[in-house]
Amino acid sequence: MSGSHCNMDTEWTELCTSQERQELVIDQETNPYTVIYEEKNYGQPKPSSHLLLSHNSLHQKRTFKYASKLKIHTSIHTGEKPFSCDACGKTFRRKDNLLVHIRTHTGEKPYSCSICGKAFRDSSNLIYHIRFHTGEKRYSCETCGKRFYHKGNLTVHMATHTGIKPYHCKICGKRFACLANLKIHARTHTGEKPYSCATCGKTFSQSTNLKFHTKIHTGEKPYSCETCGKSFIQMRDLTVHIRTHTGEKPYSCVTCGKSFSQNSHLNVHMRTHTGERPYSCKSCGKTFSQNSHLTVHMGSHISESSCKAFAKTFSQNENSHS
């Protein structure tokens, strides 16, 4: 390879299309070498570290300094997950994600908080945890100024202003601001509950729900209100509780302007505008906007079936004595 073919202006460009097959092509005007990958079979040369790797997706260019980083990123588009867990078969795009996952089986938590001693499987979770002690909320909303510990929470929050929810469920059409929430939602259709309690065996669709559930067994309530002293298992429950003292209602309806202290209450309210009734009775097909309304309704079927069973038993007893 001549030196003229390897210069600081060389760019690798990934052409993202809606098709499953994509091509990774080095610009022929600056570099004569072309690399093509199809689905899960692809090859890449190892360029010098100074090469600038760029990615064009949805008219936005993303750059990568190393070919290995671009390779990991392209797997998002191809769906390739080459690293699998020997214990449960779950697959991952990155090896480091697999290593963190394996700790869910082994129970290993190598990262501990120097303030309270709490241990974590992942170093990033420890970083976020420390912010609860320091009160640091480095991610702020440019629209309303609200601040967050996690960047992901800011992303979800921004949807309350923009209404943009790019991820949708292929089964029911429900839309979400972030991919993680869509994945969790999908389990409501599949019934998957991959997280189980080691104490009582109860299973959960989310690891956070399991984490909070275990505190029921331990009795731990680490989050307490400075105003009234009431304690909570979850930080978010404390946050919601504090609003009963402050009167804060940070979630507002973009249609009518009504405000709420909890995002879940806003979601329920929005259905009065959209007419959405996502909860349906399996017995009669009647639909409801709230799960609690469905639960109350189901009682009418239980009462009805109990009455019929009682009437049938009474009739049989009457006939046997006649």
Quick one: which of 239, 71, 35, 270 has its CA closest to 153? 239
Residue 240 in domain: no
* Residue 213 and residue 204 in contact, taking contact as beta carbons nearer than 8 Å: yes
Residue 273 has a pLDDT of 92
Residue 171 in domain: no
Which is more confidently placed, 311 or 120? 120
Residue 41 in domain: yes
Tell me the mean pLDDT in the region 74-80. Answer: 76
pLDDT digits (tens, 9 = 90+) for 7-20: 323 232 333 333 32
CB atoms near residue 63 (< 10 Å): 12
The lowest-confidence range among 36-40, 187-191, 278-282, 305-309 is: 36-40
Tell me the mean pLDDT in the region 270-297. Answer: 87
Residue 61 in domain: yes
How many Cα neighbours within 13 Å face the side chain of 155? 12
Residue 269 in domain: no
Residues paired with 45 in a beta bridge: none
pLDDT digits (tens, 9 = 90+) for 178-231: 888 888 899 989 989 888 898 899 999 888 888 888 888 988 888 889 899 999
Residue 310 has a pLDDT of 52
Residue 1 has a pLDDT of 41
Residue 11 has a pLDDT of 30
4 pLDDT more than 60: no
What rounded mean pLDDT belongs to the chain?
A: 75
Quick one: which of 247, 294, 249, 244 has its CA closest to 271? 294
Rounded-to-integer distance, Cα 122 and Cα 94, Å: 14
Residue 156 in domain: no
pTM: 0.41
Q: Which domain holds residue 31?
A: 3-78
315 pLDDT more than 70: no
Q: Considering its fold, how many domains does the chain have in total?
A: 1
Residue 259 has a pLDDT of 92
Any residues with CB less than 8 A from the CB of 117 and at least 6 apart, and which?
Answer: none
Residue 52 in domain: yes
How many Cα neighbours within 13 Å face the side chain of 257? 0
Residue 92 CA: distances (Å) to CA of 76, 82, 96, 298 = 11, 6, 9, 40
73 pLDDT more than 50: yes
Residue 320 has a pLDDT of 55
pLDDT digits (tens, 9 = 90+) for 131-152: 888 888 888 999 999 988 888 8
- Biggest CA pair distance of the chain: 107
6 pLDDT more than 90: no
Paired tokens of 176: 């979400």
Residue 313 has a pLDDT of 60
Residue 46 in domain: yes
31 pLDDT more than 60: no
